[in-house]
Structure 1
């Protein structure tokens, strides 16, 4: 029985990946995590990270979801990426746009991992995904430009001092069907890149810029661990 229990424990612990989160922002951030389809909420869905800190989370095979960095947290809320009244642990809730997302599906079609950096919900801080080990293309991807610096005036999210702290997507700002690829525009042959999608693609060619940007924005790897870096140029 002891041998069987040991084998079961080994099996249970061997089917997981190490995700290393690194804060290179120059200040403390709060990481948010949200699983897809009511999946497992890892580490309560959020934790704080001092500048320069590195945190490793074990994530099981088959997991799918998103990660993001929250900034300006305090006094009951976060300035960007808040997931509910400044809660440290998001507990399955998503980040409030505009926010940069790192998205991943482990062991998807043909057992491949699918991952991307998405600006569909806008941009707040830089994010980079680096596969470690694994097989296949396994490219390092991200949005490394200072998107906030040149964000179009109508898409800027400002703090109380007038500083640009995030850049809205056109969909997030207008909720228009043409910008969101919804309603009668829910068709890749009909919906065209919005103002934000065009700007985001210029700044970060690897990132998802709008709903039908799959061809240049989805990447694959098999069996890798991953490093998620949050950074500021």
Structure 2
């Protein structure tokens, strides 16, 4: 039998508040005139999103190196298939990053000092126009492969910060 003191309970609750308190909700919208199969890692997966559809994903605090992208030209049967762009090893629900070309919404949730960090990257190529924003920060726009709000090479200074506990919007074909 485990016996907990009031101070143990306090520290357990404090630890949960510190790690659970800065989770984020991502709302992913498809404004394209065609189906997009958004995907993401880690802890995001993938789905089919018809024109005008939305998908909501909760991303836990402490998630670093996260990314969301849109896959196009996909065909799936029984959870396996192939996509023309952004394919992740033929999986419907991704556990590894998509193959180029793929416009990426990248993020770190709870990256320190009660801030999240986010950016758009076209380092892995460009396949879809994208808007990426957080509820307390700048709206990033990428309409073509030359988009000025995106990383084009690894040392571009294009990362933005957002207050912790923010929610995010990713829109394909804004």
- Provide TM-score, normalisation by structure 2: 0.81
Out of 213, 222, 225, the residue aligned to residue 156 of structure 2 is: 213
Q: Distance in 2 between matches of 1:89 and 1:109?
A: 29
Matched, 1:95 2:82: no
- Give the aligned CA root-mean-square deviation in angstroms: 2.1
SS in structure 1 opposite 2:113?
helix
Matched, 1:29 2:33: no
SS in structure 1 opposite 2:133?
strand
Aligned counterparts, 1:24-103, within 5 A: 24-35=31-42, 41-42=43-44, 45-64=45-64, 65-74=66-75, 76-85=81-90, 87-90=91-94, 92-103=95-106
Q: 1:69-91 deviations in whole A, cap 9, x for unaligned? A: 00000163101000012x2111x
Residue segments in structure 1 that go unaligned for 5+ positions in a row: 36-40, 148-199
Residue segments in structure 2 that go unaligned for 5+ positions in a row: 1-8
Q: Number of aligned pairs?
A: 155
Name segments (4+ residues, structure 1) moved above 4 Å: 10-15
SS in structure 2 opposite 1:210?
coil
Q: 1:152-203 deviations in whole A, cap 9, x for unaligned? A: xxxxxxxxxxxxxxxxxxxxxxxxxxxxxxxxxxxxxxxxxxxxxxxx3xxx
**1:142 corresponding residue in structure 2:** 141
Q: Distance in 1 between matches of 2:23 and 2:112?
A: 18
**1:160 corresponding residue in structure 2:** none
Q: Distance in 2 between matches of 1:88 and 1:98?
A: 17
Q: Distance in 1 between matches of 2:149 and 2:36?
A: 24
Which structure shows the higher helix fraction? 1
Q: Distance in 1 between matches of 2:124 and 2:112?
A: 25
Q: Is the 8 A contact 2:30 2:54 kept in 1?
A: yes
Report the CA distance between 1:142 and its aligned residue.
Answer: 2.3
SS in structure 2 opposite 1:49?
coil
Q: Is the 8 A contact 2:69 2:103 kept in 1?
A: yes
